[in-house]
Structures are given as structure tokens and as C-alpha cells.
Structure 1
Amino acid sequence: MDQAEQMREELYDLQRRELITIEDAAVAVRKESGQVKVKQAHSLVGAGALGGAFWGLLIGVIFWMPWLGMAIGAVSGALGGKFTDIGIDDKFIDEVAETVGPGSSALFLLARDAQMDRIKEELSEYEFDIVETNLSPEDEDRLREAFAAEEVSG
């Protein structure tokens, strides 16, 4: 359950080596009980970061909506629609929900310029699946407008 956090640290190192540009990150740990704990990468809050509202909503839709049942179907549809508007479709959400079972963790990244072959090679000691979606520049702008983190005051 702690591999996603370890992997995040490894990816920060790969970013220093210019193999990836990470704009924001969050880790979701799904305990054996099914309970999900979210840890945002606070070191990235600021310029390109999306903030807790985005990660909380996305991870909530992925992990909690299926268990809340029909009573909130309209809310789930509205939230899903909000993500579809910014290029994160139901297929991506469903695939992530199916991949991250109880007793495991997931690393969520908003990243660009990733040299995937080199990254996979560097992270070969970890057991992981990559579930990805690509956002157009317009989708990225809409995502930032909807969920931009507030500036961190010094």
C-alpha cells in the first residue's frame, strides 16, 4: 500500500533528471477495508498545481461513487460530466477504479514531457499498471480554470 508514495519520490528524482515534468500529484491508498486515504503532494501546490478540490473530487468519483448507489446517480452523472468536459472520460475513471483494489495504492499525476520507456525502465523494481488519459491544451486550460489551486502565501 505504500508503493505509490515510494514511486512518487522516485518520479521526483526522474523529474530532476528531466525525464518527466510533474505539475501535480496525489496518492490514494485503498485499505483492505475499502477505505481510501488521499495524500496530495503539498510541495507542488502553487503555479501549476490543481489543489485538493480536484484530487478529492476525482478520487471520490473513482472510489466512492460506485458504493453510494442509485440515490446519488444524478450527482454522480453531473460530476462525471464535469470531468468529461475537461477530457477525463468514464472509461478512464472505470479503469482506474477496477485497477486499484483493496490493499493497494495509486499515484495520480498531472504530468507532461514524460519519456515513458526510460521511466518504465527506471521504475522496473515496482509492480504497476499505467492508466492514462491525454488532455489537449484546451482541456488543460479548462481543468485549471475549474480546479486551480490558490496561490500559497509566503
Structure 2
Amino acid sequence: MSKLVVIAYDNQFRAEEVRITLRKLQQAHLIDLEEALVAVKDDAGEVTLLQMYKPAAAVEARKGFWNTLVGAIVMNPVIGMASDARGGAIRGALAGAGVDDDFLRELAATFQNGSSVLFVLVRHASPEKVLAALQGTGGKVIETSLSHEEEATLQAALDAAPPAG
């Protein structure tokens, strides 16, 4: 089963830089990504989504989840106030995937103008190599299906000083 990791950055370019790092790690067979999506909110508040290329058949199974999550990102202020069927349907679909209202509130608070968010579904990884590559990249883990210990280790790597060199 894939693990979801969502990392927020206070820089609109950092999530894409980290996604590129993860793709390089995937090419080196150090991580197996099912999907990686970057949401960028520019200084004017416009949201852009950058998704890894996958053949249509491979994406189809996760398409509903990503579409719902993206809808929540773009419409979060509306969803937060909505008590109508549409807002409830989006919240229900996300809850079914393990994404709760607390996450949506934290995402809304974090995803401000000039920031970016990285959403990753990881099938398998070599933790020590991946953590070393992510060391010092910054960001805040705002949602994960990792164990508390794995999440703390990931956050510590993100917070650590970048390697010298």
C-alpha cells in the first residue's frame, strides 16, 4: 500500500525542486513513486498544478482521488464555508481516502500566496538514502500516512542543515 506524504514550502519553487530530486532518486531505484503532484500558489494567488507524467491506464485508478484533492486545494475557502451537497461530497470523498477536515484546515493555513505544496504517494523507498537527499530542503510535513516515528524522522531531515558541498 502506498504512503501519502504532503509537505508544504513557503517558497513557490521549492516543492518542484524536491519533486525533481525525488524523480532522480526514482531513476536510481532508491524510491518508487506512484505519483507526485505539486501545487504552486503564486504571489497573485493563482494556483498551478504540476503532475508527474504517467500513462493514462496507470493514472486512472488514482484520478478520482487527485481530482478531489485538487478541488479541495483550489476551493478550500468555499468548502470550509459550504454546508451544501457539493462541499459535503468533496469532504466525504477525501475522508474516504484518509484526508480529514483538520488536514484541509492546515493546508489552507499553509498554502498562502508565494508557496508550494508537494503531494507524494510512495510505494517503497530506501529511507536513509531518500532522507539524505532531502536533508535541509526545508518544508513542513502537514499530512502523512507514515508512522509517527517515520514522520518525525522525515521532518528532522527537512529541517536539518543542508549537507556541505
Normalising by the residue count of structure 2, what TM-score does the alignment of the two structures yield? Answer: 0.66
Structure 1: runs of 5 or more not aligned: 136-154
1:102 is paired with a residue whose SS is coil
Contact 1:24 1:45 in 2 (8 A): no
* Structure 2 gap ranges (5+): 1-11, 147-165
1:61 and 1:120 map into 2 onto residues whose CA distance is 29
Runs of 4+ in 1 over 3 A off after TM superposition: 45-48, 67-70, 114-118
Give the 3 Å change call, closer, same or farther, for CA 133–126 of structure 1 in structure 2: closer
Q: Please tell me the residue identity of whatever aligns with 2:114.
A: G
Residue number in structure 2 paired with 1:112 = 123
| 3-state SS of paired residue (1:126) | coil
Alignment partner, residue 13 of structure 1: 24
Matched, 1:92 2:103: yes
TM-score, normalising length from structure 1? 0.70
Contact 1:88 1:133 in 2 (8 A): no
Aligned mates of 2:33, 2:57 — CA distance in 1: 12
Question: Kindly tell me: are residues 123 and 80 of structure 1, through their superposed partners in 2, closer, same or farther at Cα, counting changes over 3 Å?
Answer: same
Cα RMSD after superposing both structures: 2.5
Equivalent-residue separation in structure 1 for 2:123 and 2:68 (angstroms): 22
The structure-2 alpha-carbon separation of the partners of 1:102 and 1:47, relative to structure 1 and needing over 3 Å to count, comes to same
Give the aligned residue type for 2:144. Answer: T
- Residues 33-72 of structure 1 correspond to what in structure 2 (within 5 A)? 33-42=44-53, 44-46=54-56, 48-49=58-59, 50-51=62-63, 53-67=64-78, 70=81, 72=82
The amino acid of 1:73's aligned partner reads S
Amino acid in the other structure paired with 1:5: E
The residue aligned with 2:152 is: none
Is the Cα–Cα contact under 8 Å of residues 65 and 76 in structure 1 kept in the other structure?
Answer: no
Cα offset, 1:46, TM superposition: 4.0
Q: What letter matches 1:134 in structure 2? A: S
Q: For 1:87-143, what per-residue CA distance to the aligned partner results, in whole angstroms no more than 9, with x for missing partners? A: 2222222222222221011111111223445423212242212223329xxxxxxxx
CA deviation after TM superposition for structure 1 residue 23, in Å: 0.5
Aligned to 1:148: none
1:129 and 1:116 map into 2 onto residues whose CA distance is 18
